[in-house]
Amino acid sequence: GGARRLYRRILQLHRALPPALRDLGDRYVKEEFRRHKAAGPAEAQRFLREWEATLIQQQINEDKQNVREKAVYGIQLTEEKLNDFRDEQIGQLKELMDEATKPNKKITISKDSEYKT
């Protein structure tokens, strides 16, 4: 129940993003939740805890946007958090960053994309 509610709330927040970023974010979230569906209890708890923290940060950014009228997307990751990631996760972040920072191109992700480990 809690995972499904969190998943829906994240997708709901993505509605405020520009279309290309929304598409990228929605696909990323869907793939991540699908990949962790069979995770063990400890990994699942950590996965949900991290997404809840991301959700809270997105809500804070959304509130700041409403005050400043300037769009702010994403969160800054600390070196400590980055050190906790597996190589596979670092690869995913790199791919996401590359897609999100392509100049003047529409953001696309293939449905059957595979991540390098």
Residue spans per domain, the chain? 2-73
Predicted confidence (pLDDT) per residue in 73-94, tens digit = 566 777 887 788 788 887 877 8
Which positions ≥6 away from 99 have C-beta within 8 Å?
24, 107, 108, 109
Alpha carbon 24 to its chain's center: 9
How confident is the chain (117 residues) per 10-residue block, as mean pLDDT? 85 85 89 88 88 76 59 69 80 77 58 44
pLDDT for res 27: 92
pTM: 0.52
How far, in Å, CA of 107 to CA of 99, rounded?
Answer: 6
**Residue type at position 17:** L
